Structure 1
Amino acid sequence: MAASKAPATVRRALDMPDLRALETFVAVCDASSMVLAAERLGLSQSAVSQAIKSLEDDLGLQLMDREVRPARPTHAGRVLHEAAARLLSQARAAMDHVRATARQELAQIRLGCVDSFAATVGPSLIRAMAGKAREFQMWSGLTPTLTEQMLGRELDMVICTETSVHDPRIAQRLLFSESWVAVYPKDHLLPGPATLQGLNASASHLPLIRYSQRSVTGQQIDRYLRHVGVQAPRSCEFDATDPLLSLVASGLGWALSTPLCLWQSRHHLDAVQVVPLPPARLGQRHFFLLSREGEWSGLDDEVARVTREVIRRDTAPAIHQRLPALPREVISCPEDITS
């Protein structure tokens, strides 16, 4: 039976030149010595000799005259040297072009952020990154949608409050954390500092205005309430802070929220009172930066650094000035925790 022919794709692959072998051959011709070529390439002399022998086998031609010392290229070798030098130059130019284009693309950042971050920290972050990115595009939305867009490469980076992404190619950096706070109508009589008993008492006298279960914030607050044992029947629910805070300001209920969410809707702050809560294991929400590992040449690290700087320098001081009853640790960055 006749031997079957190799598939066309295999034959084409065998016909393609080995750029490493060509680089080795050109180095030998330029150095007029296999020993010197091996030193320049950081290879063993046997590896250099084997690379040239493989080229000769692939071409079916003798490329080096080994009868003379040092070995010299044959006529076929001289032709290959000239062609290979051009090919390697083109290959290096192609690689340089890819790197330059990639660096240029790094300046185009598509950043997705949860709404409370985009509306508060977002403007300062964009100003701070203005000299580091040619084009900075920001999307806002709910965490589940943003993470899906990240996985689908519609977004380059995402700042979210919780993630179920377990892709090892996606790096997750903790940016900062903020504690839950209780928000009451301005004229609501508080028995004293917020306690878990006080929360239960509030739940029995006023409806709890909630964030909806579609939002990660709503899910996190529900976990916190179950953890601390506060029973609060479901009433009105909202995806966003503004309508939620509007109902509290109108005396129609109380809510759990965060400093950043309140700062997003700060035009309601004069009509409410904000009370810190006792520390608890689930008493915080954490903000993370998601980015694809190794694709951003450190630009994702810069976004994380600038975000923390904006939080410490601008956002946290502004919130504390407006809400002096809140403790300083209600907003914290990783450096603050470890210092």
Structure 2
Amino acid sequence: MKPVVRVGCVESLSVDLLPKLILRLRDKTRQIVTILATSNSLHRELLEGKLDIIISSDSTAELSGLNRTLILQEGSLLVLPKSLKDSNCWKSWKGLQFCGLPFIKYHHASGGGKLNDVFMRTAGISVANQIEVDSNSTMLSLIAQGAGWTISRASTILQNKGLMNEILYLPMPEPLLVRKVYVLTRQNEPSALMQEFTQLACSILKESVAPELIKIAPWLKQDIFVLDPTSGVMVDMTGKRADER
């Protein structure tokens, strides 16, 4: 009998990866159930047995009882309102601190929030903030209306194509912040499920998603890697391994 598969996914890959993945799994399953949530919520539901497999962006999570496979690595970028289009403030952290607009935070418990918080704390970057959200769409809508700026990813821009012309997305000052995306299952789940799911996800990322990310942020061409399931290594779109950088 074909299985029922319950899949959880972070919002940033819910438009460009998840639908294609569902269509490719449709003939292999009896039913597919999907939910979207922040990484911390997905981890909890996976551990509680409410989900079978998740796509998570929480690179800091070290949870026991789970199998984890890295499938995507992407450099970050700045997202700013168009009111700053003639400003050079985005070229340095000091400039951003005094750009006249606050930093908008991703919710501190989300994968993006944890990633940004750890990065800024480690790099010693301090910026004023007033607003904290856990939705990419809300984040970009606020920025489009001039409420502030943030650190995000090209996958977030891709997910919100309707806002692409209403915001600026530019290279971030050094050091570059990298986001990692994982497939996770419980250790007692059949390994074949994770293997097939991972192979399909990586195929879609390589064929459809990564090329679009590079169109959005061509300066990140050498900072976007997808897992090659055959060799088990992360490679960019030219086939260069991440460990060769």
- Give the shorter-chain TM-score range: 0.7 to 0.9
CA–CA distance in structure 2, aligned partners of residues 279 and 159 of structure 1: 28
Q: CA deviation at 1:262?
A: 1.8
> Which residue is equivalent to 1:304?
198
Residues 255-334 of structure 1 aligned to structure 2 (within 5 Å)? 255-278=150-173, 280=175, 283-293=177-187, 295-321=189-215, 323-334=216-227
Moved over 4 A (4+): none
Q: TM-score, normalised by structure 2?
A: 0.84
What secondary structure, in the 3-state scheme, does the structure 2 residue paired with 1:287 have?
strand
Which of 208, 212, 230 is residue 103 of structure 2 equivalent to? 208
Q: Is the 8 A contact 2:75 2:220 kept in 1?
A: no
Q: Is the 8 A contact 1:275 1:325 kept in 2?
A: no
Determine what percentage of the aligned residue pairs are the same residue: 23
CA–CA distance in structure 2, aligned partners of residues 216 and 297 of structure 1: 25
Rg (Cα) greater in structure: 1
RCO higher in structure (CA 8 A, sep ≥6): 2
- Unpaired runs of 5+ residues, structure 2, are 228-233, 236-241
Amino acid paired to 1:318:
E
> Which residue is equivalent to 1:225?
120
> Which residue is equivalent to 2:25?
129
> Which residue is equivalent to 1:164?
61
- Unpaired runs of 5+ residues, structure 1, are 1-103
Amino acid paired to 2:208:
D
Which of 183, 188, 191 is residue 88 of structure 2 equivalent to? 191
Q: Is the 8 A contact 2:11 2:136 kept in 1?
A: no
Which of 133, 143, 148 is residue 39 of structure 2 equivalent to? 143
CA–CA distance in structure 1, aligned partners of residues 45 and 137 of structure 2: 25
Q: TM-score, normalised by structure 1?
A: 0.62
Which of 140, 143, 161 is residue 248 of structure 1 equivalent to? 143
Structure number with higher helix proportion: 1
Q: CA RMSD in A?
A: 2.2
Q: Is the 8 A contact 2:47 2:186 kept in 1?
A: no
CA–CA distance in structure 1, aligned partners of residues 159 and 143 of structure 2: 15
Q: CA deviation at 1:256?
A: 0.9
Q: Is the 8 A contact 1:147 1:165 kept in 2?
A: no
Which of 102, 105, 113 is residue 9 of structure 2 equivalent to? 113
Structure number with higher strand proportion: 2
> Residues 280 and 129 from structure 1, CA distance in 2 versus in 1: closer, same or farther, beyond 3 angstroms?
farther
